[in-house]
Amino acid sequence: MTNSPPDALLALTNVNTFYGQAQVHFDLSISVPRGHIVCLLGGNASGKSTTMKIILGLVKPRSGDVTFDGASLLGLTTPQIVRRGIASVPEARRLFADMTVRENILMGAFVRDDREAIAQDLDKMLTLFPKLGQRLSQRAGSLSGGEQQMVAMARALMSRPRMIVMDEPTMGLSPLYVDRVLELIRTINREGVSVFMVEQNASLALEIAHEAYVLQTGKIVLSGSARALKDDPRIRDAYLGGSEAA
């Protein structure tokens, strides 16, 4: 916790993670300041998605700490972590394919009991994602990838989170939707929700992020403000150049 600045909403400190005997994270430290968009960049198999799972309590680190708003998340179950105010947009959306769009969005409010406010928030989602209005009673599995991403984001917002974690929100989307999704992430952030996103697409992520970290085979090899990183040639090397980059 010494490494994280006092205004960090989420902080991972010296996290080491293993799958069996294979180490996935090496002394990983990441901090997400309140109100910021922080992006974790990295190629395939760099350990990005595992970082998401650590935050959500789906995977337990062997050592290190994960804190949210000053309190450790280790030892909490995923539902408990969600109740603390972290919502997620999982990799490949992971919608409930046989449930309707409406049901999917409302599932996001599962931890809430205030029926009227939930109904209001649903209306709010439909203004934020107008396209979903006509799709409410359709099976979520029948939507296009871009529409599914909208549903996944709406679903995450329904818990009124203080923070959203997103795993590759632009993966497999057409360019049109990529821009929409990025714009929406900005909008969500402006309303006060902190965002931690894992991305492979560096240039897109750096467009909207405040800070970024570059992860390579489980180690942070680069980090700093998004603005600085955008012009850093090492980013490109980190992706296309192999292990010598850092």
Partner 1 sequence: MSTTMLSLHALTRRFGGLTAVDAIDLDLAKGELISIIGPNGAGKTTLFNLVTGLDRPDAGTVRFEGLDITGLSPERLAAEGIARTFQLGRVFGNLSVMDNVLIGAHTRLRAVKPAVPVIGPLLELGLALLRPASVKAEEERLREEVKVILARFGERLLPRIDQPAYSLSYANRRRVEIARALALRPRLLLLDEPTAGMNPTETTEMQGLVAELKAEGLTILLIEHKLEMVMRLSDRVIVMDEGKKIAEGPGEAVRGDPKVIEAYLGHGLTTKQESAA
Partner 2 sequence: MSSWLDYTINGLIVGNVYALVAVGLALIFGVSRLINFAQGSIYLVGAYIGWVAVVQLHTPLPLTIIVVAVAAALVGLIIERFGLRPLQNSVRIAPLLATIGISFVLDQLVMLTFSPNPRALPSQLPDVRFQIGGGTIGPLDLLIAGVGITSALLLFVFLRYSKLGWAIRATAQDRDAAMQMGVDVNRVNQAVFGIAAALGGVSGLLVGMYYNQIDTAMSLQATLKGVVAEVVGGAGNVPGAVIGSLLLGLVESYGVAVFGTSYRNLFAFLLLVVVLVLRPNGLFASARQAPPEPLTGTFIAPSRPVRIPRWALLVATGIFAILPLLPVSFYVLQTLINAWLLGMLALSLTLVAGTIGQVSLGHAALLAIGAYTSALLSLTFAVPVGLAIIGGGLMSAALGTALISPSFRLRGHYVSIATLAIGEIVSLVILNWESVTRGPIGISGIPPLSLAGYELVSPISIYCFSFIVMVVLALLQGRLLGSHLGRSFRAIRDDDIAARAYGLSLNRYKSLAFIFGGFAAGVSGGIAAHLYSYINHETFNTQQSILALTVVILGGLGNVVGAIVGAVALVGLPEVFRIAAEYRILIYGIVLLLLVRFRPQGLLGTM
Binding-site ranges for partner 1 (CB under 8 A): 19-22, 43-45, 92, 144, 168, 171-172, 200-204, 206-207, 217, 230-231, 233, 235-236, 239-244
Binding at 239: pick from partner 2, partner 1, none (beta carbon under 5-8 Å per type):
partner 1
Q: Which residue, 49 or 67, is less far from partner 2 as judged by CB? A: 49
State which of positions 35-74 bind partner 2 (CB under 8 A). 56, 58
Question: Which x/- pattern, by CB under 8 A, does the window 74-103 give for partner 2?
Answer: ---xxx--xx---xx-x---xxxxxx---x
Separation between Cα atoms, residue 20 and residue 2, nearest integer Å:
29
Minimal distance, residue 209 CB to partner 1, in Å: 12
155 near partner 2, rule: CB under 8 A: yes
136 lies in the site for partner 2, by CB under 8 A = no
Q: How many CB atoms are closer than 10 A to CB 67?
A: 18
Q: Where are the beta strands (DSSP E) in 79-186?
A: 86-89, 163-167
Is residue 220 within 8 Å of residue 213, measured between CB atoms?
yes
Rg (the chain; Cα; Å): 18
Count of residues for the chain? Answer: 246
For 42, residues 6+ apart whose C-beta sits below 8 A from its C-beta are: 48, 198, 200, 214, 215, 216, 238
Interacting residues toward partner 2 by CB under 8 A? 56, 58, 77-79, 82-83, 87-88, 90, 94-99, 103, 106-108, 110-111, 155, 159
